Amino acid sequence: MPAVQDILVFFQTTPALTSPAVAWARYEASKGPISDLTEEDEPPYANALAAMRDGWEVLQMSELKHRSAEEGYDLGPLPYQTVLSKFNEMQEEE
């Protein structure tokens, strides 16, 4: 089976690669879409750097945000994210 791209996204409250993941998502082409989400109390790695030490490559890290007076206290989505990539062998979809 060919190797295809798996994506792991960490959502953080600071942009550092050592910032704890407070939310996370997997888009794993090797396994297909998630039709039955299993609860997870902890992320697969504490932070992006720990994932990198397990072979994940960083595709994107966040920039610091400029905060104007008008939007300085807006909340909205979680502010920062790191996108990680790893190639894994394709599996049959469940």
Partner 1 sequence: MNEHLISSKQMAQFVASGYLRLDEMVPKELSDACLVEMRDHHFGYLNVGASFEDTWPKGTALGDTFRLPQVQGLIHSLVGPDPLYDHHAAHLVKGGQTRGPDMHQDSVIDFRENYFDIQLSFFPVDTPDAMGGTFLVPGTQYRSVRTGEIHIYQHMRGKIWATCPAGTIFVWNTGVWHGARSNHTDQDRYMYKLRLNPTRPQVRNFDTADLDDPEIRQILNTNHGWEGNEHRYELMRRVQMWRFVSGQPDYDQGERFMRRIEYRPQAEGVAAG
Residues found near partner 1 in the complex (CB under 8 A) = 9, 11-14, 19-20, 22-26, 33-37, 39-40, 43, 73, 75-79
Where b means 16+ CB within 10 Å and e means fewer, 70-89 reads: eeeeeeeeeebbbbbebeee
Of 68 and 73, which CB lies nearer to partner 1 in the complex structure? Answer: 73
Closest separation in Å from C-beta 45 to partner 1: 13
The nearest distance, CB 68 to partner 1, in angstroms, is: 14
Smaller CB separation from partner 1, 79 or 86 = 79
Instruction: Please report how close the Cβ of residue 64 comes to partner 1 at its closest, in angstroms.
Output: 12
Contact of 56 with 32, CB cutoff 8 Å: no
In sequence order, what DSSP letters do the residues of 7-61 get, joined into one string? EEEEEESS--TTSPPSEEEEEETTT---SSPPP-SS-SSSSHHHHHTTTPEEEE-
Q: Closer to partner 1 at the Cβ: 3 or 91?
A: 91
